Chain A
Amino acid sequence: MIDAIVPFIGLAAAVSFVLGLRWMSAVPTARRGVLVGVAGMALAVIGALLRPEIIDYRFIAAALVFGTVIGVPMAMMPMTAVPQRTALSHSFGALAAALVGTAEFYLHAGSIEGGTMLALGLEVLLGSLTFTASLMAFGKLQELLPQRPITFRFQNYLNISLIVTAVMCVLLLAIQPQWTFLFPIIVILALSFGVLFIIPIGGADMPTVISLLNSYAGLAAAAMGFVLGNTLLIVAGALDGSSGFILSMVMSKAMNRSFTNILFGAFGQVQTKAASTESRPYRSASPADAADILKTAGKVVIVPGYGMAVAQAQHVVHELHDLLMKEDIDVKFAIHPVAGRMPGHMNVLLAEANIPYDRLIEMDEINGELPMTDVALVIGANDVTNPAARKDPNSPIFGMPIIDVDKAQTVMVVKRSMAPGFSGIDNDLYYMDNTLMIFGDAKSVVQQIVKAIGGK
């Protein structure tokens, strides 16, 4: 009986996943998408539990309880920690795929048919490398590991030869399934590749890397579906894989890097062009001056960067937004695709601070409005506002899409000092005639501006 129903439960779950993703296209329907996904997942799990070949429930029950105990607190983290959490969950998903592949191999080693062996090899390869790579990404995001890229000579050659050898072993094992000794070699090569793959990557490249790992984790799950002959798994893995792929493309485009550049791990290389040492003149202003200028503006665009989140300034920025809106000043936020540590991160950081989402405007859309903007207020963002990306073909970031704050009437930049950011590139924006620098910690500067406006 149950055997006749299970395939249809799987189909229902697959449909619920597709519908759920479709409803993610807009905020009002998105939560419904989560709920329908949960329902589909619950059905699928119940279906799996009811299968007659399950005879021992003790370990399953323990794993389900323990998984919930760890999973729920992991969902309660503040939004600044979401990238780390995501990296960690990619590693969990990848580990599950690698372990199931190992279990399958352990049970049937030597007698696995070529095609299945190929899928199993890919499952374990992708699972293992995504596992260690995601753990490394987690370590970097959580600042357990140094954030700066670590590079050494022949690094790319070493990485490429590791992965090529591992893939060759998978192919060999598919052709000669009795060569079981190749299996542990694949696992070890993949685990080491995962570590070496992340070592040369710096903090700024994390959004791309997380997306890429998301894609790999999905492909590992799909490969597992091929091994077990489970269609639902293939569908879910394909959806996850394509989502990660699209996000990687969006991120690489936003950073002006080609996709092959990313696939070969050539990113994270520090641009060595030194910033010119000549000191150029710039103008600075006090928070009180900034408040005066803001009060007389009709249209303000705030450009938040990760520096704002580091200074924990989101909530005062929200206060500033409310205060200006009350004065009938139009306030919008310009969101660069790579603002934050993962795709879309800046949006959730601002949403967490109660800033309404209809005020968060994507780069392409806001760029059309900037020439009509009275004040652009840059808080904690640097490279994504550098007009050199548009004008200076010699700049290392030339061609990168930026937020055109330089086109606004007045630009105000909240920054600690004139020191260049961690990309090491000087920002031409700071030396423009219509730019005012406001020095200090983002949180305290915005607090002072809020006080000055409120106190009138």
Chain B
Amino acid sequence: MNEQAVGGLYVFILATMVGLEIIRRVSPLLHTPLMSLTNAISAIAIVGSIGFAGSGEDPVVTILGSVAVFCSMVNITGGYLITYRMLSMFKRSKRSGE
């Protein structure tokens, strides 16, 4: 196994452990926005897709890459926006806010 893959495995396992610890603490109140937020985060796949869409090497690769960029961009804009919108709806009651 090459070094890069082993390094990747380190990162993957440690990031998963961090993820499990942090997400366990997320209030169940916010599980729906949590899902839309993580969905937007994983749209970071756009970074890889851009490399294919802009390489200019082969039309097939350009098209596959561009569609992937499009899909990721939908999730980035839509995901962050709806998460923010949902979170803005959560308000404290006036009485207990005093």
The answer on a CB contact under 8 Å between A34 and B69 is no
**In this assembly, does A263 line the interface, its C-beta being within 8 Å of a C-beta of chain B?**
no
Hey, which chain B residues are within 8 Å of A337, CB to CB?
28
The answer on a CB contact under 8 Å between A224 and B45 is yes
Hey, which chain A residues are within 8 Å of B44, CB to CB?
13, 17, 41, 44, 221, 232-233, 236
Number of B residues with CB within 8 Å of any CB on chain A: 88
With both beta carbons as reference points, the residue of chain B lying nearest to A103 in the complex is identified as: B64
How long is the Cα–Cα vector from A199 to B63 in the complex, in angstroms?
Answer: 31
Q: Provide the A403-437 mask, 1 if CB < 8 A to any CB of B, else 0.
A: 00000000000000000000000000000000000
The answer on a CB contact under 8 Å between B50 and A245 is no
Per DSSP, chain A at the interface is helix
Hey, which chain A residues are within 8 Å of B82, CB to CB?
74-77, 82, 85
How long is the Cα–Cα vector from A290 to B87 in the complex, in angstroms?
Answer: 34
**In this assembly, does A97 line the interface, its C-beta being within 8 Å of a C-beta of chain B?**
yes
How many A-B residue pairs have C-beta atoms within 8 angstroms? Tell me.
Answer: 372
The answer on a CB contact under 8 Å between A38 and B80 is yes
The answer on a CB contact under 8 Å between B53 and A89 is no
The answer on a CB contact under 8 Å between B78 and A25 is no
The answer on a CB contact under 8 Å between B53 and A63 is yes
How long is the Cα–Cα vector from A88 to B63 in the complex, in angstroms?
Answer: 21
The answer on a CB contact under 8 Å between B38 and A240 is yes
The answer on a CB contact under 8 Å between A347 and B32 is yes
With both beta carbons as reference points, the residue of chain B lying nearest to A114 in the complex is identified as: B1
With both beta carbons as reference points, the residue of chain B lying nearest to A24 in the complex is identified as: B26
The answer on a CB contact under 8 Å between A357 and B29 is yes
A67-B77, A234-B8, A240-B39 are known contacts; what are 10 more A-B pairs with Cβ within 8 Å? A17-B41, A20-B37, A21-B23, A55-B54, A77-B82, A99-B49, A225-B8, A228-B48, A347-B32, A348-B33
Ordered nearest first, which 3 A-B pairs have the shortest CB separation? A67-B73, A344-B31, A242-B19
Interface of B toward A, CB cutoff 8 Å: 1-2, 4-5, 7-8, 11-13, 15-16, 18-20, 22-58, 60-96
